[in-house]
Amino acid sequence: METFHIHIKGMVQGVGFRPFVHQLANEMNLCGYISNTKNGVHIEINADEKTAVVFCQNILQHPPENALITGHSISRTITKSYLNFSIIPDFSDDIPDLFLTPDISICEKCKHDLSDGQGKRYRYPFTTCLQCGPRYSILKKLPYDRINTTMSHLNMCTDCLQEYQDIGDRRYYSQTNSCPECAIQMHIYDKTTSEIALSQDVMITYLSNAILAGKIVSVKGTGGFLLMCDATNKQTISDLRQKKHRPTKPLAVMYPDLTMAEKDVIIHDKEKSILQNKVAPILLCRRKNICLSGLCNEEIAPELDKIGVMLPNNPLLYLIAKECNKPLVTTSGNISGSPILYKDEDALTHLFDIADLILTFDREIVMPQDDSVLQLTETGQKIILRRSRGLAPGYFPHPFSDTNERLIAFGGELKGSFAIYQNGNIYISQYLGDQQSLESQIAFKQSMTQLTAMLNIKPDVILADSHPAYHSTSAASAFSIEHDVKNLVKIQHHKAHFCAVLAENSLLHTCEPILGIVWDGTGYGDDHQIWGSEVFLYENGDMRRLAHLKYFNHLMKDKMSREPRLSALSLFKELPAHQHIIETYFNETEWKYYHKVLSGKPETMTSSMGRFLDGIACILGIGSIQQYEGETVMKMEALARQHIPQKEEFYNFDIADGGINFDRFLTHVIIEYTSEDNVPKICRKVLFSLARLVELLAEHFSIERIAFSGGVFQNALLVDMIKSLLDGKKQLYFHKQLSPNDECIGFGQLAFYHIQSQKEKNQAFINCAEN
């Protein structure tokens, strides 16, 4: 009998692929082996050609639920004789060439095990199986086997080992298998950092009782430490905000189940599906007028009409949520502005400034991750706000022509995330925080070191943002020197944004013109000004800036992004008669000083749509100083939803000579505000005016296809307005797997470099043909 070799690539480790293939081989009476390697799974079988092909097709057509097959091959190999089918260890030393499986939320069968009073995993907080559990967060090196994870030190008990070796068991070859007999041990500490002597089976009850008594606790989750408290206790929430230095930024709420969540928020069928899927993200849901669970909604999300809702994503959180049987504030365990803490020693050092108790356990996290955050617009458009646990680090399908070059893209600044291209695979890191903070810079470097070592990548090219003052840019430069990478390419921020959404929609190689609308807060422009309302044309691999908002003073540099009053003052420069509207937001000294700065020669100008909207929000009295990024515009969106017009109204922009003049727009906003003072109505008109501006730009430049990127398009109401206005008239393209915010920049840098490389290759081919 012949021997056939099958190689399967993709997301095929940590998803139950080997047990699945073993079971299939037994059903077909085939002998051979399967092995995890650094470049996928390798299978050998004794079979005739027809049987081998059928076997391979069965694998491809019916893979495990969480698997993603990106490539395969089948070929004859040296004839060997196997007596049975087995799973064998990896003895190869291949270059890594596979997808890394993200952490997978607790499955329904494991939830049943937790509540089965007769089962051995009753209330065991680390119950997992082949279909769920930690993956990316605990993986130290490839391939995915227990010995290469942070569970390598834990030996299975006799019963667990029997399950592990039983081909008919759903925990057959489950690398994270454990039970109370061979348990991952928990520890609870009080404010003295002393461990409280408790048996394992009462710890969750002890912690839950503390939450119900008004305490703030920190719990180690899948990707890092969380801070939790009773979401119906106004005083406790106030204490949490004060200690975390987070006065108004919205807090996520974890519910034990959908039934309780639906007492407080509106959840449509698509939203239910997202909340219950294997990612189990935080999902922004519209708040009901009356919250029947007792939720303190104004303390949770002040002046907003949406709440970040989540269901428990792991067994420990599931048990806590069920025992408390209340909505629980669940937010990242960090000091405001810093990345999530994930090491036990760091949590014990820093989190007792906030928490009364800390629960840890003896399974290390090597890849920290916040919870992913999503929202659906009313029309069902998915918008990713934060791409992290459950989504990172894989990206498929990749939209680039295969190249032997290995690339690392360092991304942007405000939403740190890097991207890697190697062997036809794309890896996009989890959200790594604002790179202006030292703690986030350290987290960025640690995550990059971990992932690049795991992938054994030796880059040929480093890509970075063109902003000379970004830390990510200087980090890219330092990395290229340290690793002797000669080719460091700097890419303009908004062009990377545009390339990202083009690549996500497989438009990099299109011949038809595409209009790119890239609206965000800041990005260093080719003319050394601060861009942010960019209108690009992409055609035949070339990208050209067509238009942007009329420049206005970039007042006080980065301080402007934190203080909408400065944006308003800058917008009012040519309308001095109306400046009194915002004068109350400054003291006398500030008023004189900022006017002096405004009247002088500006160091830089800006076309930022983010700052433009900040200024409008301040003029409307929504806010003058922001406590968190995007605060005033988020409140503007919430106010806009309060006004339901019979017919949408708008203010006018004027487009001429590559400029978008907002003078008429601003004048009419001021007139309506001072005469009617109907802020919700004006907010809605402002947002609809932006949607209509998109329509005007498309008509002005006679382009039928429009792609959108940038943080402004996190605004769900604006996205729906654009769709309602243009669906059926134009072809619209939004991000799919990535956020429109700066988390997509690394991917966009890869796409931009790909375009330029293709152009150079095409030109070289033309030159060669001409010669």
Tell me phi and psi for residue 413, to 5 degrees. Answer: -120, -55
What pLDDT, on a 0 to 100 scale, did the predictor assign at position 676? 86
Q: Which residue do the tokens 């067509």 mark? A: 546
> Tokens for 583?
């004068």
SS (H, E, C) 165-192: HCCCCCCCCCCCCCCHHHCCCEEEECCC
Q: What is the dihedral of CA 388, 499, 407, 754, to 10 degrees?
A: 150
Beta strands in 627-712 (DSSP E): 654-656, 659-661, 705-709
Give the model's pLDDT for residue 242: 96
The number of residues in the chain equals 771
Low-confidence ranges of the chain (pLDDT < 70): 336, 763-771
pLDDT at 764: 64
- Among all chains, which residue has been given the structure tokens 């990316």? 136
> What is the model's pLDDT at position 402?
74
Residue 763: what pLDDT? Answer: 67
pLDDT at 142: 93
Q: How far is CA 415 from the centre of its chain?
A: 9
What pLDDT shows up at residue 769?
Answer: 62
The neighbouring-strand residues paired with 231 are none
Q: How far apart are CA 706 and CA 684, in angstroms?
A: 23
Residues 6+ apart with CB under 8 A from 673: 581, 619, 620, 679, 682
Q: Which two tokens stand for residue 21?
A: 């293939």
Structure tokens at 256: 């034990």
What span, in angstroms and rounded, lies between the C-alpha atoms of 221 and 321?
A: 13
Q: For 62-116, write each residue's pLDDT tens digit.
A: 999 999 999 999 999 999 999 999 999 987 778 899 999 999 999 999 999 999 9
Report the C-alpha gap between 253 and 61 in whole angstroms.
39
43-74 b/e with 16+ CB inside 10 Å = b? bbbbbeeebbeebbebbeeebbebbbbbebeb
Q: What is the pLDDT of residue 303?
A: 97
Q: Are the CB atoms for 454 and 139 separated by under 8 Å?
A: yes
Helix (H, G, I), strand (E, B) or coil at 208: helix
Q: Say which residues have a Cβ less than 8 Å from residue 289's Cβ, sequence separation at least 6.
A: none
pTM, full prediction: 0.96
**Alpha-carbon distance 679 to 642, whole Å?**
10
b/e string for 346-366 if b means 16 or more Cβ within 10 A?
Answer: ebbebbbebbbbbbbbebbbb
Residue type, 437: S
